[in-house]
Amino acid sequence: RYPSIDEVRAAISRICPIDVRNFQDEADKINSRTLGVLMLGYAYGKGLIPLKKESLKEGIREILKEKLWETNFRALERGIELAKL
């Protein structure tokens, strides 16, 4: 027997207690391709990433082209803000 939708949702909420669709909506306000960085900011804001914010920004600088930095910095900051709500 397959689990019901409610059973699946309950199981997922124990593993990942956030609704990622809300994050995609927030990322779309900045740029739809910033979802990963927005979620990184959220995890950082929740204290789940033991790094300094500047280290995260440096990682963005190392990986992405310069023209994408500011957009991704905004996504990082928005994720941190969402973690505080």
Greater confidence (18 vs 52) lies with: 52
Kindly report the backbone phi and psi dihedral angles of residue 18, in degrees, each rounded to the nearest multiple of 5, phi listed first.
Answer: -125, 155
Q: pLDDT tier at 13 (50, 70, 90 boundaries)? A: low
For the segment 17-44, what is each residue's pLDDT rounded down to a tens digit? 666 778 989 999 999 999 999 999 999 9
The confidence score (pLDDT) of residue 85 equals: 86
Question: In the chain, where are the structural domains located?
Answer: 5-83
| Separate counts of helices (H) and strands (E) for the chain | 5, 0
Q: pLDDT tier at 1 (50, 70, 90 boundaries)? A: confident
